[in-house]
Amino acid sequence: MARPRVLITRRWPGEVERQLAERFDVTFNESDEPLGQAELAAAMGEYDVVCPVVPDKLPAAVIEGGERAKLIANYGVGFEHIDIEAAKAKGIAVTNTPGVLTDATADLALTLILMAARRAGEGEREVRAGRWTGWGPTHLLGASLRGKTLGLVGFGRIGIATARRAFHGFGMKIAYYGRRETLPDVARELDARFYPDLGELLAASDVVSLHTPGGAETANLIDAQALAAMKPGGYLINTARGGVVDHAALAEALRSGQLAGAGLDVFPQEPKIPEELLGLENVVLLPHLGSATRETRVAMGERALANVVAWAEGHPLPDRVA
CATH number, domain 102-285, options 3.40.50.880, 2.30.38.10, 3.20.20.150, 3.40.50.720: 3.40.50.720
Known catalytic residue at 320 = no
What average pLDDT score do residues 6-34 get?
97
Known catalytic residue at 122 = no
Known catalytic residue at 270 = yes
The whole-number pLDDT of residue 207 equals 99
The model's pLDDT over 44-72, given as tens digits with 9 standing for 90+, comes to 999 999 999 999 999 999 999 889 999 99
Indicate whether 265 pLDDT > 90: yes
Containing H/E element for 8? Answer: strand 5-8
Q: How far apart are CA 148 and CA 156, in angstroms?
A: 21
The model's pLDDT over 147-177, given as tens digits with 9 standing for 90+, comes to 999 999 999 999 999 999 999 999 999 999 9
What average pLDDT score do residues 278-291 get?
98
The whole-number pLDDT of residue 233 equals 98
The model's pLDDT over 196-252, given as tens digits with 9 standing for 90+, comes to 999 999 999 999 999 999 889 999 999 999 999 999 999 999 999 999 999 999 999
What are the structural domain ranges in the chain?
5-100+294-312, 102-285
Indicate whether 109 pLDDT > 90: yes
Which of 23, 157, 288, 320 is flagged as catalytic?
288
Contact between residue 54 and residue 81 where contact means Cβ atoms under 8 Å apart:
yes
Using CB atoms within 10 Å of the CB of residue 141, give its burial: 0 to 12 exposed, 13 to 18 middle, 19+ buried. exposed
Indicate whether 1 pLDDT > 80: no
CATH of domain 5-100+294-312: 3.40.50.720
The whole-number pLDDT of residue 192 equals 98
What average pLDDT score do residues 127-144 get?
98
Q: How far apart are CA 119 and CA 114, in angstroms?
A: 8
Instruction: With CA atoms as reference, report the closest residue to 105 among 154, 42, 174.
Output: 154
The whole-number pLDDT of residue 256 equals 98
Q: In the predicted model, what is the mean pLDDT of the chain?
A: 97
Which of 119, 211, 241, 303 is flagged as catalytic?
241
The whole-number pLDDT of residue 66 equals 85
The whole-number pLDDT of residue 65 equals 87
Which of 270, 275, 281, 295 is flagged as catalytic?
270
Indicate whether 125 pLDDT > 90: yes
